[in-house]
Structure 1
Amino acid sequence: MLIKKRILLSNILMIIIPAVLIMIVTGIVYLSYLKISKGASVDDAEKYIAAQSMIAEYSNQMQYSQTIYDFDAVQSELQKRLLASGIYSKITRDHQIVASNFTKEVDSLSATIDGPNSSMPKPYAVQSGHALLISYSFPKDSYLFKVIAIDPNFRIRSNEWVTRIKVMGSYITITFIISLIIIALTNGVISSNIFKNIIVPLDMLNYGAEQIKNGNLDFEIKYERMDEFGVAIANFDEMRTRLRQSIQTQLNYEEERKELVAGISHDLRTPLTAIKGYVKGLKDNVANTPEKQQRYHDIIYKKTCEMDVLVDRLFLFSKLDTGHLPFYFEKVKSKEYFGELVRQIIEDFEGSGLKLSYSNRCSSNSIVTIDPDQMKRVFTNIVENSLKYKQLESCQVDFMVSRQGNEVVIEICDDGQGVPEEILPKLFTSFYRGDASRNNPTQSSGLGLSIAERIVKAHHGSIIAQNKNGLAITIKLPVVEVG
């Protein structure tokens, strides 16, 4: 997940999670509040009025009842209804108990409340703490009957709201504290997760930068998340890889430059030494006959021509290496071009012992884009290389052209002894000729195959060397148009 989405989601969760948890906690605390304040919602004032009316009504019925059975039925019904409302009652006749459902606690409470108030006008009601006593008297048959009702859990409205306010205050305080704790914990957990997701990749990048600063490029940063940091770390690691490759390429280039300078020095020193020797011989009259002088002149001229060829090849190699050699590409039919090329090569190397066989299995409409002159130089260098290292008086070279998919494949094989396998990858290195030929720079400059490789690559082709009963050079060129 992207960092932007994570931060957005984290901000949303910072709101949703505390809100949900606060709602849950609020509900739990509120239910506890309801449980604590249960009963306080009952209107005790109305309960008192209802009880007083009920006592007056039933007392009137008892006063005018005709029989003892009617009296007992009314008083029993009164006590049941009062008790259903949580009110205990007692009926006396001239201070003698007729009926009572008082408990010991209620009876004690009645004595405490009713004793000091027994002389109050009838009827009357007295509250003491959370207890309410209602007294109602009526005469019957020359007796004085008295109904005493006690509600031990009576609370007037003012006390009820004081209790509610206290409970509500506790409820609000608890909810506020728990809400703060929930918000702090939620923000802490989510912020810690975001912090980890940002700091860890930053530490990785910092580690990589430190390694590069210290010159170490042989390390790897592994980060598996596909987010902005994943892209940044992948690009950073690719930069490290390319930097390492660039440095390695530069080191290889410097090594090649050293070999090039050493090769040039070696290959120029030999003919220069010969020229210097023959010039000194002429100067010191060592060549004291016209025939000898002519031979010295011919040798000097030959050595000068060899140096001229070497300088030309060095100049060509330098332009290829720097990319300053112009190419003039043309679309040519491979059948016609290679047929004419082989004919020219045979003419150019006539009398050198070259025996060349040619086959071309390409169709007449297999077309490649090449610079004809530069491509001729490639094949000339390859054939020349085969002739220089021939073992016999003559050299058999097979020149085969074929079509493979979207490529034209040219294979040039000679009948020489080939080269050791460990040397094959170095054949296209400039000035590489092996120890045996290095002692004879007039035989080879060591630039022919290197020049051939650069020209082929400029044509977007490939060139490789193999041993096939001799040395085989294979070149592949892309077909750009198929008829």
Structure 2
Amino acid sequence: MGKEKRTVKKKIFYSNTLMVLVTLLIFLAVNLVIAKVYIEIIEQDFRESITWSDNEEDLEDVLQELTVYKNAFIFLLLLDGVICIGVLLFISQLFTRNLTNHILKPLNELADGANRVKNGDLTVPIAYQGESEFEDACHTFNNMQSHILTEQEKNRKYEKARTDMVAGISHDLRTPLTAVRGTIKGLMDGIASSPEQQKLFLETAYRRTGDMDALLQRLFYFSKMETGNMPLHMEKVNLAVFVNRYVRGKQDDPKKIEHSILADVGEDIWATVDPEQMQRILDNLLENSLKYAEADELRIKVELSKKEQTAHLVFLDNGQGVSEEKLSHIFEEFYRCDESRNRKEGNGLGLHIVKYLVEAMGGSVYAENLEGLAVHIIFPLAEENENG
């Protein structure tokens, strides 16, 4: 048979018993010494009080009687000690049992909770009320269990989003790939007989490959974000100049179709950012408006101002906005307000990348509904620098 395990209950009982026994034995030993000294003193005084003229037989009787009383006294003292030890051990056992019950109850609750967690049940918290220290331990366990449950739910949603994204990528790639394939097949079959038709077919195929390249670039970009391999090259930038230059570039873009974009920029405003990533942020916001605003005549405005020692950039459109219950989720990775992929192409990464980059550069971002969707980006101001 294996060695018997030590338990808290036994440890407390043995400790209390040993404490009581040692205390009582010391107390009994001290009392026995004191009693012996006291008896010897009485006996000596008694002997001195008896003169030699007394009858010797009476003296012997008295001494014998004194011995009897002395032995009786010692016996009663020992009996009293034994009774006290027995009573105290019994009382100690009662208190020990009560104490161990108080200690073992939360320990048993924690053990049951750990077994539930081991079996995958994270929904039942420990309902213990008692001593503060044990309540704190159980409360900490419940917090841990709740945190694990939250992380599991988050991971479950994340994995589902990843699965949906893979399906979405397949859909998004299939459309331009089919178009390129059909165009090449048409050229091979001689459908485009004239040089003009051939040029048109080739331009269509080239444009579709650009769509696929943009999608793959975004996925590659997201992969770099997840692995922490996204370098930032921070420098002081005059955001007023940067925004004006960006908007002018989009206004002169020959590909611009059925939308207008304006800048409302005041004085020079400096912030420490990565210019390349700022370009990506504005591109993603523009793409988001173009895909989801659903306005008959889409109007986009980029505003920039100083507010309480911060650079406050607002990118807004006149579209339909986002429902309030979904507004707080639009920056989550893979999140799509429109669940039907047949209506809008997209992978739910654009605004998540915006949030990631803004926060990586020390800023913050949030969205609200005004005339349409308004995305607010805030950066701390940097010292003005003529050289940028």
Q: TM-score, normalised by structure 2?
A: 0.75
Q: For residue 205 of structure 1, what is the aligned residue in structure 2? A: 110
Give me the whole-angstrom Cα distance separating, in 2, the residues matched to 1:43 and 1:447: 108
**Identity value in percent:** 30
Amino acid at match of 1:349: K
Task: State how 1:154-173 maps to structure 2 within 5 Å.
Answer: 156-173=61-78
Aligned AA (2:164): E
Q: Report if the CA contact (8 A) 1:415-1:471 is conserved.
A: yes
Contact 1:14/1:190 (<8 A) preserved: no
Closer, same or farther in 2 for the Cα pair 1:179/1:447, shift >3 Å?
closer
Q: Do the aligned partners of residues 244 and 459 (structure 1) sit closer, same or farther apart at CA in structure 2, a change above 3 Å counting?
A: farther
CA offset at residue 258 of structure 1? 0.8
Following TM superposition, by how much is the alpha carbon of 1:224 offset from its aligned partner in structure 2, in angstroms?
5.7
Structure 1 position 475 matched with structure 2 position 377: yes
Q: Higher Cα Rg: structure 1 or 2?
A: 1
Whichever residue aligns with residue 399 of structure 1, its letter is E
The RMSD of aligned alpha carbons is 4.2
Which is richer in strand? 1
Structure 2 counterpart of 1:241: 146
TM-superposed deviation, 1:473: 0.7
2: CA distance, partners of 1:423 / 1:291:
47
SS of 1:412 mapped into structure 2:
strand
Q: CA 1:445–1:260 in 2, change beyond 3 Å: closer, same or farther?
A: closer
Aligned ranges for residues 283-298 of structure 1 at < 5 Å?
283-298=188-203
Question: Structure 1, residues 220-270: CA drift from partner, whole Å, max 9, x if none?
Answer: 23466454x667655544443332233223212211111110110111111
Q: What does residue 5 of structure 2 align with? A: none
Inter-CA distance 394–194: structure 2 relative to 1 (3 Å threshold): closer
Q: What's the CA shift string for 1:291-323, capped at 9, x where partnerless?
A: 222221121111111111111112112222332
Distance, in Å, in 2 between the alignment partners of 1:434 and 1:304 is 25
Which residue matches 2:124?
219
Residue 82 of structure 2 corresponds to 177
Q: Tell whether 2:250 aligns with 1:349.
A: yes
Alignment of 1:456 onto 2:358: yes
2:210 aligned partner: 305
- Name the structure 2 match of 1:427: 330
Instruction: Give the distance between the partners of 1:426 and 1:384, measured in 2 at CA.
Output: 18
Unaligned runs of 5+ in 1: 35-39, 53-124, 133-153
Structure 2: how far apart are the matches of 1:438 and 1:310? Answer: 17
Aligned length: 358
Structure 1 residue aligned with 2:226: 321
Residues in 1 aligned to 2:320 and 2:194: alpha-carbon distance in whole angstroms = 44
The structure 2 residue matched to 1:266, chosen from 146, 167, 171, is 171
Change (3 A) 1:325 1:219: same
Where do 1:333-344 residues align within 5 Å? Answer: 336=238, 338-344=239-245
Task: Name stretches of at least 5 consecutive residues in structure 2 with no aligned partner.
Answer: 1-7
CA 1:349–1:46 in 2, change beyond 3 Å: closer, same or farther?
A: closer
3-state DSSP of counterpart to 1:380: helix
Verify: 1:418 aligned to 2:315, yes or no. Answer: no
Q: Among residues 364, 368, 376, which one is paired with 1:466 in the alignment? A: 368
Deviations 1:183-237 (A, max 9, x none): 413542453355335423321221121111110112323466454x667655544
Q: Indicate the residue corresponding to 2:276 in structure 1.
A: 373
Q: What is the distance in 2 between the residues matched to 1:255 and 1:239?
A: 24
Task: List per-residue Cα deviations over 1:38-71 (Å, max 9, x = no partner).
Answer: xx99969968999x9xxxxxxxxxxxxxxxxxxx
Is contact 1:463–1:475 with CA below 8 Å preserved after alignment? yes
Q: Which residue in 2 is equivalent to 1:253?
A: 158
For the residues of structure 2 that align with 1:251 and 1:320, how far apart are their CA atoms? 20
Name the counterpart of 1:68. Answer: none
Quote how far apart the aligned CAs of 1:385 are: 2.5
Match 2:301 to one of 397, 416, 424: 397
Aligned partner (choices 172, 181, 188) of residue 276 of structure 1: 181
Q: Is 1:358 matched with 2:264?
A: yes
TM-score (normalizing by structure 1) = 0.61
Write the letter of the residue equivalent to 2:249: D
Deviation at 1:454, TM superposition (A): 2.2
Find the aligned partners of 1:481 and 1:224 in 2 and give their Cα distance.
58
Q: Structure 1 CA distance, aligned partners of 2:177 and 2:196?
A: 23
Q: 1:318 to 1:49 in 2, by over 3 A?
A: closer
